[in-house]
Structure 1
Amino acid sequence: MNILGFFQRLGRSLQLPIAVLPVAALMLRFGQPDLLNMPFIAQGGGAIFDNLALIFAIGVASTWSKDNAGAAALAGAVGYFILTKAMVTINPTVNMGVLAGIITGLIAGMTYNRWADIKLPDFLSFFGGKRFVPIATGFFCLVLAAVFGYIWPPVQAAIHAGGEWIVSEGAFGAGIFGFVNRLLIPTGLHQVLNTIAWFQIGEFTNAAGAVFHGDINRFYAGDGTAGMFMSGFFPIMMFGLPGAALAMYLAAPKARRPMVGGMLLSVAVTAFLTGVTEPLEFLFMFLAPMLYLIHAVLTGISLFVATTLGIHAGFSFSAGAIDYALMYKLPAASSNVWLLLVMGLVAFVVYFVLFSAVIRMMNLKTPGREDEGDLLVKDEANSNTEEGLSELSRQYIGAIGGSDNLNVIDACITRLRLSVKDASRVNDAMCKRLGASGVVKLNKQTIQVIVGAKAESIAEEMKKQIAKGPIAAAAVSAAPVASAPAPQAVPNAAKSVIATLVAPVSGTVVAIEQVPDEAFASKAVGDGLAILPTGTTVVAPASGTLVKIFNTNHAFCLETEKGIEIVVHMGLDTVALEGKGFTRLAEEGSAVVAGQPVLEMDLAFLNANARSMISPVVVSNIEDFAGLTLLAGDTVVAGETRLYEING
């Protein structure tokens, strides 16, 4: 793994422990005297902040391990206790804070990935496998404690001095942090920078003598000086970026505003309420880099102004309206946090005016203003269903270059973080057609696909789909474009034959218009023909990949190397038979050749129980080609008779 890939994966691992902070903030806030006045609730939230380093150790270990293993999480806790207790025995002044948790989590995760399957001699076999991981992690952390006990004090002093410097720079230091924070968003490395500022820089000792490090930790512990690395984000995330969204909406031609309006509204509301801004930022980050640079500068200015005004505000997750309401009257919040709303209104106007002017002056290709040839019609599957999510995940794998181009699949809140063999094999246009906001190619082996809040679900499903078998790369084909005129036939133009399909089953040919099903007869599913089977074996009509075999085995979808998508549907309404009468002979995701058996049918049972055994064989993406030419006569033989040609 290259160094950039390492920090990408580390950024993703930090997401899990950070995700527990909102619930801690809720309990801490609602337990205060001005709300529920229940100290036990406040103490419950405070316990999270008191043990952040341990939480990071467990969370990082779990997410770094190859299968999110509980054994790795346990090893992270064991390593943390050994490291911290052993270090202070050597030097009582050592306090690594959250970094101790991150380091032990990494050690535990790496140890699990390397030795979770280790075999020991019979007399030690009880300690083999996953039980070996906490033991080995404890040993490594003991050695590390011996090293850090001596070398960490000067490092700790350097970090303290760096923190003192950036804090001493006051508003300027906060502004630089905000500017760099936004510049690192495209790489995903902003989480590493945030961890240092929010969980490491600065020190606060409460009345009980407990020591807290980092802007977030100190703020929720009651440090009235904390917040310089958080306050200025509220105006940008709650107001500035929604102002940018409005500017992009009004900059789009009127005819295209309905196409982009719903998308821009949803990401703007998300930014305002939750402070999750990546879905919005990625909409213009690559289409209009100049706007993103302006956004980074304005973020730095906002943090500079907030610090200059002496505003101390904080958040547990991000700078949205929810966190703003929760922290408004916390002890560490300054009395002038209301000024953030005034700053926000100013930010809304500044973003709207600047973005509107720059978009028009530079003719930037923000959403809705792309050239017609670049306006891809998104054909994202319904990822709210299990079948839809599976299909969408398979399509993303194909767009990435197929399963053989994928090394590591990870995800954070809004993006797929992927390690690939060759980034040039990634089909950016198809990813966007599937619903991605953008594709970031950090180097030849590291990419990110911005897919929104469903990123983790897609990543997990991609892993499951690859485990079932290899998935081919998607063919590069012309995507349909919005507002583009339909292609006109050219008289006497030569037609090239892209592929020729053979009959998937023996039987009698039925014209597609005569199929007793409106969806097939109207060619809504695709163009082709149908067969009334007399044979019992169903074969692949062309060479390609079985991208989908339905659970009931009554139908399958095949995609050829040229991108032809073929649907073979045995009978009508046969899904109601729940798989009875069908036996699967090939597996989903496998590569097949024309004539290779895919299904076996109990034709007597099916003829007696199915509504009809007329079986459509159609090309579902025929609009991507010049049409088809029928070749079959009245009867066909499976794997031998030519059905029709696909014309290019």
Structure 2
Amino acid sequence: MMKYLQKLGRSLMLPVAVLPAAAILMGIGYWIDPEGWGSGNVLAAFLIKAGSSIIDNMSILFAVGVALGMSKDKDGSAALSGLVGFLIVTTLLSTDTVAMLLSIDVANVNPAFEKIANQFIGIISGIIAAVMYNRFSHVQLPTALAFFSGKRLVPIMTAATMLVASAALFFIWPVIFTALVSFGEGISGLGATGAGLYGFFNRLLIPTGLHHALNSVFWFDVAGINDISNFWAGTGTKGITGMYQAGFFPIMMFGLPAAALAMYHTAKTKRKKQAASLMMAAGFASFFTGVTEPLEFAFMFLAPALYVVHAALTGLSLFIAATFHWTAGFGFSAGFVDFVLSFRLPLANQPYMLIVQGLVFAVIYYFLFRFLIVKFNLKTPGREEDEDVADEDANGVASTTGNKFSGMAASIFEGLGGDANITSVDYCATRLRVEVKDMNAVNQKKIKDTGVPGINVVGPQSIQVIVGTSVQFVADEIEKIRK
């Protein structure tokens, strides 16, 4: 199960990598025009819309990215199938369609269906598409239906499967969503403790997108709290209104960037540069704009236990801020931009103390994350086993020319026993991951003679050929030979 979650986490790296840039664009645009959100400034509108085109469609990116990453040979038809699956379920369970199916007015449709296009649905669509690809991409249909054989069959099977999934979600999704809203209403009267519980479950539900159900209770007018609007309108109680927002600032501005630094410092030596690129961009997005998904999705599946620790610390932060009545608010998210904009609002109460709290949480996050990662060998970005390089010379293969890729691939293919022995070929960042029928038929010396840094036999039918950062090009050439 853990390996499956880690594979899922690696699959999300492709879409996650683009999110920090989008978040920063939106943050800058919002800073330029904090009241009009682009309506009062052309440049702000340009930046906000450019960033929101990505952030607002994160679920679609996840559907495509997960399908691509979880498919056995990273084929584009899997990604297309992920998109197909997502479009089917979100269309069938949209408020308009549900109203038509139930023959009721749109206004009477369960609010849960307004939130159906979330990250959880995107991930589920991607997983189903990948399963369909791995199962049906090589199926040959009878001659009359031959056009739909193989990879063309995958989107069709994905569509059929998503029909069943949509039927199940039609009944399941409203129950889950409504239960969370009721849960939020139940804890809303617990004062600072309720704020802490809200913060904990808010983060814990991020992977599913169900945090929106809780947010609707505390931030908006579902249960009469309406924390965001009341704070910015100045209609509330100083030190109380804003209690469901303030505790996020120490986490998003200080805690998570410190966690990013810890993950960078604990990354494998040969992958520090790659880890630094992601951690720096995601950490800055979290601090500046309060968009945390790029950083959280970078480790929530790779190290789920660590993510639970993060959720607990978030709950603690909201509890502390609410206990001492330190308040600040946000219109976009709890980043630097909103902190500055809300600093002088009438209901902002000692907001500078949130900076002090944030500095303390930065220390806690850094040392706690670093300790847990090293102590339990958690597979945070840069520490995944499949991504390790066994020798210093691994990167040397990256300078190989295109012609040499062909020759190297041919030799490796022959050394693995050719089509008669190879069952499947996959690759990660540095390794070919090959399934063979008979390990005795593999000529390891012939493979090593190509100049690869090493070979790792991981099972009776599983072998990894460590190529280096240019592994994709070698894998592509092997696929050409197999065809």
TM range (shorter): 0.5 to 0.7
In structure 2, what is the equivalent of residue 161 of structure 1? 182
In structure 2, what is the equivalent of residue 202 of structure 1? 215
Between Structure 1 and Structure 2, the one with more helix by share is 2
> Among residues 84, 90, 101, which one is paired with 1:90 in the alignment?
101
In structure 1, what is the equivalent of residue 24 of structure 2? 26
In structure 1, what is the equivalent of residue 419 of structure 2? none
Deviation of 1:119 (Å): 0.7
Q: TM-score, normalised by structure 2?
A: 0.53
In structure 1, what is the equivalent of residue 222 of structure 2? none
The letter of the residue matching 2:357 is M
Task: Kindly indicate whether residue 125 of structure 2 is the aligned counterpart of residue 110 of structure 1.
Answer: no
> Among residues 340, 343, 349, which one is paired with 2:357 in the alignment?
343
Deviation of 1:102 (Å): 2.7
In structure 1, what is the equivalent of residue 397 of structure 2? 387
What are the Cα deviations for residues 576-628 of structure 1, in whole angstroms up to 9, with x where unaligned? Answer: xxxxxxxxxxx9969xxxxxxxxxxxxxxxxxxxxxxxxxxxxxxxxxxxxxx
> Among residues 249, 256, 275, which one is paired with 1:231 in the alignment?
249
In the aligned structure 2, how far is the partner of 1:550 from the partner of 1:97? Answer: 51
Instruction: Please tell me whether the aligned partners of residues 239 and 344 of structure 1 are also in contact (alpha carbons under 8 angstroms).
Output: no
In the aligned structure 1, how far is the partner of 2:344 from the partner of 2:330? Answer: 5
1:315–1:202 Cα change, 3 Å: closer
Matches within 5 A, 1:523-602: 546=445, 549=448, 551=450
1:379–1:34 Cα change, 3 Å: closer
What are the Cα deviations for residues 18-56 of structure 1, in whole angstroms up to 9, with x where unaligned? Answer: 443322212222333627752133122223343333333
In structure 1, what is the equivalent of residue 83 of structure 2? 77
1:350–1:23 Cα change, 3 Å: closer
What are the Cα deviations for residues 233-259 of structure 1, in whole angstroms up to 9, with x where unaligned? Answer: 1465368769999xx9xxxxxxxxxxx
Deviation of 1:130 (Å): 1.1
In the aligned structure 2, how far is the partner of 1:279 from the partner of 1:80? Answer: 22
In the aligned structure 2, how far is the partner of 1:279 from the partner of 1:77? Answer: 22
1:351–1:46 Cα change, 3 Å: closer
In structure 2, what is the equivalent of residue 172 of structure 1? 193
Structure 1 vs Structure 2 CA RMSD: 6.0
Rg: which structure is higher? 1
The letter of the residue matching 1:30 is I
In the aligned structure 1, how far is the partner of 2:31 from the partner of 2:456? Answer: 66
Instruction: Please tell me whether the aligned partners of residues 111 and 136 of structure 1 are also in contact (alpha carbons under 8 angstroms).
Output: yes
The letter of the residue matching 1:127 is F
Instruction: Please tell me whether the aligned partners of residues 79 and 137 of structure 1 are also in contact (alpha carbons under 8 angstroms).
Output: yes
**Structure 2 gaps, min length 5:** 34-40, 220-226, 228-240, 266-271, 287-294, 300-304, 377-387, 401-422, 458-462, 467-483
User: Residue 145 of structure 1 aligns to a residue in which SS?
Assistant: helix
Deviation of 1:61 (Å): 2.2
What are the Cα deviations for residues 318-348 of structure 1, in whole angstroms up to 9, with x where unaligned? Answer: x9xxxx4465567999896654432233446
The letter of the residue matching 1:34 is I
User: Residue 66 of structure 1 aligns to a residue in which SS?
Assistant: coil
User: Residue 460 of structure 1 aligns to a residue in which SS?
Assistant: coil
Deviation of 1:379 (Å): 11
1:273–1:545 Cα change, 3 Å: same
Task: Kindly indicate whether residue 57 of structure 2 is the aligned counterpart of residue 46 of structure 1.
Answer: no
The letter of the residue matching 1:42 is I
In structure 1, what is the equivalent of residue 36 of structure 2? none
In structure 1, what is the equivalent of residue 224 of structure 2? none
Instruction: Please tell me whether the aligned partners of residues 177 and 300 of structure 1 are also in contact (alpha carbons under 8 angstroms).
Output: yes
The letter of the residue matching 1:28 is M
The letter of the residue matching 1:344 is G
The letter of the residue matching 2:319 is F
Instruction: Please tell me whether the aligned partners of residues 29 and 330 of structure 1 are also in contact (alpha carbons under 8 angstroms).
Output: no
Between Structure 1 and Structure 2, the one with more strand by share is 1
User: Residue 140 of structure 2 aligns to a residue in which SS?
Assistant: coil
Instruction: Please tell me whether the aligned partners of residues 14 and 59 of structure 1 are also in contact (alpha carbons under 8 angstroms).
Output: yes
In structure 2, what is the equivalent of residue 311 of structure 1? 328
User: Residue 231 of structure 1 aligns to a residue in which SS?
Assistant: helix
In structure 2, what is the equivalent of residue 142 of structure 1? 163
Deviation of 1:137 (Å): 1.4
In the aligned structure 2, how far is the partner of 1:409 from the partner of 1:33? Answer: 48
In structure 2, what is the equivalent of residue 460 of structure 1? 429
In the aligned structure 1, how far is the partner of 2:121 from the partner of 2:298? Answer: 32
The letter of the residue matching 1:233 is I
Deviation of 1:195 (Å): 4.0
1:293–1:127 Cα change, 3 Å: closer
Task: Kindly indicate whether residue 153 of structure 2 is the aligned counterpart of residue 132 of structure 1.
Answer: yes
1:118–1:470 Cα change, 3 Å: closer
In the aligned structure 1, how far is the partner of 2:456 from the partner of 2:177? Answer: 59
Instruction: Please tell me whether the aligned partners of residues 24 and 45 of structure 1 are also in contact (alpha carbons under 8 angstroms).
Output: yes
Q: TM-score, normalised by structure 1?
A: 0.41
User: Residue 63 of structure 1 aligns to a residue in which SS?
Assistant: helix
The letter of the residue matching 1:26 is I
Instruction: Please tell me whether the aligned partners of residues 197 and 315 of structure 2 are also in contact (alpha carbons under 8 angstroms).
Output: yes
In the aligned structure 2, how far is the partner of 1:299 from the partner of 1:194? Answer: 15
Instruction: Please tell me whether the aligned partners of residues 243 and 348 of structure 1 are also in contact (alpha carbons under 8 angstroms).
Output: no
Deviation of 1:470 (Å): 9.4
In the aligned structure 2, how far is the partner of 1:409 from the partner of 1:303? Answer: 48
In the aligned structure 2, how far is the partner of 1:79 from the partner of 1:174? Answer: 37
1:327–1:123 Cα change, 3 Å: farther
User: Residue 141 of structure 2 aligns to a residue in which SS?
Assistant: coil
Deviation of 1:153 (Å): 2.6
What are the Cα deviations for residues 190-223 of structure 1, in whole angstroms up to 9, with x where unaligned? Answer: 887544465664349x9xxxxxxxx9xxxxxxxx
Deviation of 1:70 (Å): 1.9
The letter of the residue matching 2:54 is I
1:459–1:295 Cα change, 3 Å: same
In structure 1, what is the equivalent of residue 316 of structure 2? 301
| Aligned residue pair count | 353
In the aligned structure 1, how far is the partner of 2:134 from the partner of 2:436? Answer: 22
1:201–1:61 Cα change, 3 Å: farther
Task: Kindly indicate whether residue 140 of structure 2 is the aligned counterpart of residue 123 of structure 1.
Answer: no
1:130–1:167 Cα change, 3 Å: farther
Deviation of 1:120 (Å): 0.8
Deviation of 1:115 (Å): 0.8
The letter of the residue matching 1:24 is A
In the aligned structure 1, how far is the partner of 2:201 from the partner of 2:209? Answer: 13
Deviation of 1:83 (Å): 1.9
Instruction: Please tell me whether the aligned partners of residues 28 and 46 of structure 1 are also in contact (alpha carbons under 8 angstroms).
Output: yes
In the aligned structure 2, how far is the partner of 1:72 from the partner of 1:277? Answer: 25
Instruction: Please tell me whether the aligned partners of residues 242 and 348 of structure 1 are also in contact (alpha carbons under 8 angstroms).
Output: no
User: Residue 309 of structure 1 aligns to a residue in which SS?
Assistant: coil
Identity %: 30
